[in-house]
Amino acid sequence: MEHKFKKQFGQNFLTDTNLLRAIVSDGEITKEDEVLEIGAGAGALTKVLDERAKKVVSYEIDTSLESGLLSLGLKNTKFVFADALKEPLEKIEENFEGQYKVVANLPYYITTPLIFKFLTYSRATSLTIMVQKEVAERIIASSGGKDYGVLSVMCQFYAEAKITRRVNRAMFYPVPKVDSAVVRLTKKPLPQGVDAQKFEAFVKKCFSMRRKTLANNLVGYQGYSKAEIENLLADFDLKIRPENLSLEQFLHLFKKI
Ligand code: SAM
């Protein structure tokens, strides 16, 4: 397919059949599964998904790819030429009978909002996604390190997160400036009695200034004064920084506050 690659759409395509099959295997896709792909590109991953899944719905923003994708003649795939980030979730989900899985070599410029879109309120049960290596490391990071932040806490709140493979930049065309990794996020039941949206706002507040202590970041949260926050943090070392709190500790503190 003659194609003018568009950097603004994060177009770095894959061609290696073994790698494409391996990504689909990482997603644990079977003939029972309905799959959402974000960013069909030239359809290399879509072809493998089409063989392995019951049904594939593949979004692509770049309409210049339309004729090439339609000429692939994929039997189980429906292509939608629209912006997957702007498209309302309800409209995307009209394509599926029930639950579905997301498998995608994501456009890097919108990785985080796409992850949040499908991790939070969607009917997707898992996301198997190619992301920049640094983002993958932030997603799976444990407390205490420099990679640990809002993305780690929230991904691990919603899902079991695992890097299933690391992918060298040379596997893409055009070759990007960074290496990648495939991450699988398998959604898990949420802890009872926790409002996910409020918890996210709380975690963001805790990390608002990484260099500040947790106590200082929390001053003003729900109108609390410094003395009140210090009182609520009685179980913790007052000098503790947000990156030193585990997910369980964030949940404990959130419930207490
Ligand atoms: N799946 C192909 C592959 O693995 O070779 C292409 C992956 S490429 C990294 C990302 C694709 O996402 C590009 O084809 C790009 O045009 C498309 N894309 C970028 N932004 C998008 C959006 N908001 N909605 C849907 N597709 C988008």
Domain boundaries, the chain: 7-187, 196-256
pLDDT at 39: 98
Ligand 1 residue neighbourhood (C-beta within 6 Å) = 9-14, 38-41, 44-45, 59-62, 83-85, 105, 107, 110
What gap in Å lies between CA 95 and CA 92, rounded to an integer?
Answer: 6
Mean pLDDT split into 10-residue runs, the chain, 257 residues:
88 97 98 98 98 98 98 98 98 97 96 96 97 98 96 98 98 97 97 94 94 92 92 87 95 92
- Residue 1 has what pLDDT? 54
- How confident is the model at residue 20, as a pLDDT? 98
| Nearby residues of 18 by Cβ (< 8 Å), 6 or more positions away | none
Measured distance CA(243)–CA(206) in Å, rounded: 9
Cα separation, 2 vs 170, in Å, equals: 20
Q: Which of 5, 35, 38 to mutate to test the pocket of ligand 1 (most atoms within 8 A of CB)?
A: 38
Looking at residue 126, its pLDDT comes to 98
111 alpha carbon – ligand 1 mean position (Å): 11
- Length of the chain equals 257
- pLDDT given at position 101: 98
The residue contributing the CA closest to ligand 1 atom 12 is: 39
We find that the CATH architecture of domain 7-187 is: 3-Layer(aba) Sandwich (3.40)
Q: How far is CA 225 from the centre of its chain?
A: 35
Residues 6+ apart with CB under 8 A from 145: 243
Question: What pLDDT, on the 0 to 100 scale, is given for residue 238?
Answer: 81
Q: What is the topology classification, in CATH, of domain 196-256?
A: Helicase, Ruva Protein; domain 3 (1.10.8)
